[in-house]
Chains A and B, each alone.
Chain A
């Protein structure tokens, strides 16, 4: 009840927040632009996947971290009311997740429905929304763990870079180092360490384009099959939402504000 009220009013604030509106407009512009310049919708979709898998985590993470820092005094104001901290954090995280959902439905969902309706687009939309929620949870946790805004934003950027750049490099190095041994069983848990890779796997299994699937995607499809592969990848993404959320609640419950 109280959590719903905190969520509602935070959402009202976020609805007028220029950053969220700008994010929705940017995603819309990129999506529309790619469908306009590429005549083949499948090719446009593949380009869109690459862009969204980098853009959405980055923006979700930075938006959440900055909003959490910028509204610290308001969090304090809520925390001195006769309401529990769980309701405060739940309401605020829920509002951020909903705001990003609406921004993505508008910016990405609309062009996908118009230009490439179908299951692949649906998987892309679901994977990207889950990715946004994963990074909302991670961003909240980062902001709660670090008092200094510049440090928090820096760690958020490093986290994003780790998922997008460093992880791939490490995976390639691992594959190269152990190329003479059967490491397929290891790839499943290793891929689970990167939510962006999980989203890419879920989408690429659906597209069934070997060249774009990557090694981990191919292993998922080979070991689990198409539909179960997508299901496992998406389920693991829920785990990526759950663990930072649970830790964030634990940290916030004891945090000095």
Chain B
């Protein structure tokens, strides 16, 4: 079952095309890793999906609904941005309360399991401005999973996280997949990608070079490691 459909999506910033004519379908119950060099359009792709950026061309469907001015489609999406900055004077607890209110959740319907798992339970009174980058990422992860989303979008989710917390977050993403959710992750860490991905989307200069199952990528290149497979595959386009 298709969850997200990109149809001819392009995004131009002045004279620069950050995304060009991207056609891609993401299904329920899968983890897709979006990879590519710096400036390849990964973040723009995600921003288009989240409604932060308006595509110059094409359209995006989320669970059958074409993204437009109605923000309601984002009810099913949880997101974890690349770098999290929060209002410095608010506490973690106030931020969680605010986002719960904004999303229309109740204390009962919000999934606060990660607060405990990531060791934030005793830090709820801490000001967000006083947090380390890693702790801010943990807060960001809590926010992403809190509304029990059907679609999860994570931009470099493990950047700044300690290995245990990174594992916890990725395990959660895997659990969401097994519950039928769609998970889109951008990452530069190919080991992380190999461990979790069902399919790989490779972007280069704003163009989607391929969207293939991980096994296909490895088989076609005749290697068992993505780091070795990518150069071969890119030299011999799909």
Contacts and interface: CB of A to CB of B under 8 A. Distances in A.
B131 to A, nearest CB: 13
Interface string A74-89: 1011111111110000
Interface string A2-46: 100110011011111100000000000000000000000000000
Contacts of A16: 89
Contact of B89 (A2, A12, A81): A12
Interface residues of B, number: 32
Interface stretch (B34-42, B69-77, B172-180, B204-212): B69-77
A145 interface: no
Contact of B74 (A17, A72, A81, A254): A81
A171 B88 CA distance: 44
A74 to B, nearest CB: 5
B85 interface: yes
Chain A contact residues: helix, strand, loop or mixed: helix
Given A13-B88, A71-B87, A73-B81, A79 B52 contact: yes
A256 interface: yes
Interface in A82-122: 82-85
Nearest to A76: B52
Nearest to A79: B52
A10 B79 CA distance: 21
A257 interface: yes
A102 to B, nearest CB: 15
| Interface-centre pick from B72, B79, B88 (highest chain A CB count, 10 A) | B88
Given A2-B102, A80-B52, A80-B79, A74 B74 contact: no
Contacts of B89: 12-17
Nearest to B104: A82
A148 B84 CA distance: 19
A83 B86 contact: no
Contact of B51 (A17, A72, A79): A79
A85 B73 CA distance: 14
Contacts of B74: 80-82
B72 A82 contact: yes
A148 to B, nearest CB: 14
Nearest to A81: B102
Q: Which of A9, A14, A78, A257 has the most CB of B within 10 A?
A: A9
Contacts of B84: 73, 77
A9 B81 contact: no
Contacts of B88: 13
A5 B52 contact: no
B50 interface: yes
B99 interface: yes
Contact of A80 (B50, B98, B101): B50
B233 interface: no
B54 interface: yes
**A-B pairs, 10 with minimum CB distance:** A73-B85, A16-B89, A13-B87, A82-B75, A9-B98, A82-B74, A257-B52, A80-B50, A256-B53, A13-B89
Interface of B: 13, 47, 50-54, 69, 71-75, 77, 79, 81, 83-90, 94, 98-99, 101-104, 143
Given A74-B87, A78-B102, A80-B50, 5 more contacts: A9-B90, A12-B94, A82-B74, A82-B75, A256-B13
